[in-house]
Amino acid sequence: MDYFPLFCQLKGRACLLVGAGEVAERKARLLLDAGAALTVVALEFTPQFQQWAAEGQLQQVAGEFSADLLDDKWLVIAATDNESLNQQVSQAAEQRRIFCNLVDAPQNASFIMPSIIDRSPLMIAVSSGGNAPVLARLMRERLEAMLPLHLGKLAELAGSLRQRVKQHYSNASTRRRWWEKLFNHQRLAQSLANNDAQQSTDFIEQLFAQPIEDQGEVVLVGAGPGDASLLTLKALQQIQLADVVVYDRLVSDEVLNMVRRDAERIFVGKRAGDHCVPQSQINQILLEQAQRGKRVVRLKGGDPFIFGRGGEELEVLAAAGIGFSVVPGITAASGCAAYSGIPLTHRDYAQSVRFVTGHAKQDGELDWSCLAQDKQTLVFYMGLSQAAEIQRQLSDHGLALTTPVALVENGTSVRQRVVTGELAQLGQLATQVKSPSLIIIGGVVGLRKKLNWFASYPQAD
């Protein structure tokens, strides 16, 4: 360990900043945010420093640095473009045993400034020991994107509950499990993010009232259309917290590779030679796992509320009193269309878009006369086996046989293929692709040759 990681309490404590340029501004912001009593010495000051001084946030000293300015200071930062002056500051601080940071010279500094993720009171610092500051910044940006903004509120809430939890649970392991439930409680997190104090209080009381082992819940998570990079941040967080992941065949291997390694995985989809797990059995699996106190993620391809039967599963959970929440996903229509260069709506070609399940019965259940209207885009999910019937019905109800169509196989993945043609060819085109495939019908498909910005994917026409 090259540096000892340490968080300093600087509120109200005297600190010195030498230099008042743009780099010094960044250091000053951090010190002011920490509540330091800041003195800045420089020959010239940027407008920002002048504004801070006018607002009484810091004290300016116009002139050369002198060692007596270090008297009674807790720490000092040398942030000038004069290397000799920075070294002078460092030596004076060393003699007085005051921690000193030198901008762009970490090897000569007694402390370094890390990259910071601020979720006060939760603070996370990332440092490369001054060797690779850009790498540290990139790591900070990735962590910043992964960590919800409400974490600070959650940390404050935890602080207010510590004594109560200690009194309520005498056993240390039980307390730890209770805290895990608190920090992983998705509905509580949402109520904190929404500043809903009453709902947050209700969830806390429920956690105290229920036995620890009976507090399982289910999170419906949309896995997106295939490309793992299309997972939402919230979806990624949930699959990495799960005890059990129940998934179907439309969830890509790339997404499954991001699931927590020690989580139990239960496949409920259909594979070659296997029968599809009945929906009633899937419902029972979710129910039983949650009743065992497990945190269950029901991982569905695309969005769980668009032809994913997510609503049916939640009805069963609600009837049994099992807690649940939903994380939307990028639906296949949006993902496949975007990766194929097909806008789902366009002012000149389509003023509306309709999502249609191809599993509908062929006895008139669909309103084909409405579907055959012009100036709209139709997206058929699971319609490959019904492609010829879709072609016939739309044609019989007035949609021109020259209407452009596209079939997108393995959409958004590196295996994506796109076959295009006209409505008159739909039945025949469907024999050229394999499931899972999406059917897109409408004038917007004709824009693909112009707008296919994902041409790097292996696609066929």
pLDDT digits (tens, 9 = 90+) for 81-112: 999 999 999 999 999 999 999 987 777 788 88
Whether residue 130 lies inside any domain: the answer is no
Contact in structure between 61 and 40 (CB atoms under 8 Å): yes
Whether residue 9 lies inside any domain: the answer is no
Contact in structure between 46 and 25 (CB atoms under 8 Å): yes
Whether residue 423 lies inside any domain: the answer is yes
Sequence-distant (≥ 6) Cβ neighbours of residue 253 within 8 angstroms: none
**CATH number of the domain that residue 51 is part of:** 3.40.50.720
Look up 181 and say whether it is catalytic: no
Residue with tokens 């070659």: 272
Say whether both 338 and 323 belong to one domain.
Answer: no
Binding site membership for S-adenosyl-L-methionine: which residues? 225, 301-303, 306, 331-332, 382, 411
Domain boundary among 213, 229, 257: 213
Residue 455, pLDDT score: 46
Give the 3-state DSSP-derived string for 89-115, with helices as H, strands as E and coil as C: HHHHHHHCCCEEEECCCHHHCCCCCCE
**CATH number of the domain that residue 375 is part of:** 3.30.950.10
Whether residue 193 lies inside any domain: the answer is yes
Say whether both 190 and 248 belong to one domain.
Answer: no
What does the alpha-carbon distance between residue 248 and residue 367 come to, in Å, rounded to a whole number?
29
Percentage of the chain beyond pLDDT 90 is 61
Say whether both 159 and 269 belong to one domain.
Answer: no
Q: Band of the pLDDT at 359, cuts 50, 70, 90?
A: low
Say whether both 252 and 323 belong to one domain.
Answer: yes
Q: Give the tens place of pLDDT for each residue, 274-293.
A: 557 888 999 999 999 998 88
Domain boundary among 213, 242, 269: 213
Decide if pLDDT at 295 tops 50.
yes
Q: Give the tens place of pLDDT for each residue, 145-175.
A: 878 888 889 899 999 999 999 999 887 767 8
Q: How many domains are there within the chain?
A: 4
Binding site membership: which residues? 22-23, 43-44, 225, 301-303, 306, 331-332, 382, 411
Say whether both 243 and 326 belong to one domain.
Answer: yes
Which structural domain range is residue 53 located in? 14-113
Whether residue 341 lies inside any domain: the answer is yes
Say whether both 303 and 382 belong to one domain.
Answer: no
Residue 259, pLDDT score: 92
Look up 248 and say whether it is catalytic: yes
Q: What is the mean pLDDT of residues 52-58?
A: 95
pTM: 0.60
Decide if pLDDT at 270 tops 90.
no
Domain boundary among 302, 330, 358: 330
Buried b or exposed e, range 309-346, using 16+ CB within 10 angstroms: ebeebbebbeeeebbbbbbbbbbbbbbbbbbbbbbbeb
**CATH number of the domain that residue 194 is part of:** 1.10.8.210
- In the set 270, 294, 374, 434, the catalytic residue is 270
Say whether both 287 and 272 belong to one domain.
Answer: yes
**CATH number of the domain that residue 230 is part of:** 3.40.1010.10
Say whether both 223 and 206 belong to one domain.
Answer: no
Residue 272, pLDDT score: 42
Whether residue 413 lies inside any domain: the answer is yes
Whether residue 208 lies inside any domain: the answer is yes
Say whether both 341 and 439 belong to one domain.
Answer: yes
Q: Give the tens place of pLDDT for each residue, 415-458.
A: 899 999 999 999 999 999 998 899 999 999 999 988 876 544 44
Q: Which residue has the higher pLDDT, 270 or 307?
A: 307
Whether residue 33 lies inside any domain: the answer is yes
- In the set 73, 153, 181, 248, the catalytic residue is 248
Say whether both 203 and 226 belong to one domain.
Answer: no
Q: Band of the pLDDT at 273, cuts 50, 70, 90?
A: very low
Say whether both 93 and 195 belong to one domain.
Answer: no
What does the alpha-carbon distance between residue 203 and residue 182 come to, in Å, rounded to a whole number?
9
| Phi then psi dihedrals of residue 287, to 5 deg | -65, -50
Say whether both 168 and 270 belong to one domain.
Answer: no
Question: Partners of 60 in the beta sheet?
Answer: 40
Residue 136, pLDDT score: 86
Q: Give the tens place of pLDDT for each residue, 376-385.
A: 999 999 899 9
